[in-house]
Amino acid sequence: MVGDEPLLIKKKLPFVNVISCKNLINGGRKLLRLFDLNVLILDDAFQFRSIYKDINFLIIDLINPFGFGRLIPAGLLRESINSIKNADIILFSRCECVENSIIKELKDKIKKIKGDIPIVLLYTKPKLINFFNEEFTCPPNILNGKKVISVCGIGNPEEFETMIRNYAKSIYSFRYTDHYRFTTADIENIENFAKAEKINYIITTYKDFLRLPEYYNFSCKWGILDIEIEVDEGKEILYEALNL
């Protein structure tokens, strides 16, 4: 069974060859045997010193940039903060969730570890809502003044819910654990609540959509919030690194 993240990549980028493998080296070798490739992008490979990489990107989520400052299991860090020294380019994600003063503070902290390392700022923005059980797409402002349920099983639900809250009159959140596989009973519970509270729309993420029961007969209006990533500061640095 393939995980939701590689499946999402393949759905969004069907022209990209994707492999999910516990051993990154074996997975990379298999791709190179099967396809004529110029570039291999490795996910979660920053800490693997045994793999040679032409360029090391480090993404820092600004909602919790340094994982409570502790290594797993006490915190979320996989290695010491000083490992920033091994990065070639740092990308700050979810910049829209924090004040500019926080961004500046983090930049200063990183520069103390590795001088003038390039830093790219990424902003997540809502793009469209795809109502998959009614087969129509519209801008997110369709939620203006509406009662909405948000449904997600992702690592950082706050950003997703905030994007909906910026439009909706009221929001009821149904949160599940990361990578949660929804059951028929879960959907029935959500839809029963929606009908009782006269909810206008039920909104989920694309990742969660891939984990909904495949043949369920949805009776409420369900939509996928489609997002886009906007590169702000550092666009030229990023494009040069990617040879774009």
Tokens 């910049």, residue located: 95
Hey, where are the domains in the chain? 4-123+229-241, 126-228
pTM of the model: 0.83
pLDDT in tens, 183-237: 999 999 999 999 999 999 999 999 999 999 988 889 999 999 999 999 988 888 8
Q: Is the CATH code 3.40.1130 the one for domain 126-228?
A: no
Neighbour-count burial for 24-48, b at 16+ CB within 10 Å, e otherwise: beebbeeeeeeeeeeebeeeebbee
pLDDT in tens, 58-95: 999 998 888 777 888 888 888 888 899 999 999 999 99
Tokens 């007969």, residue located: 217
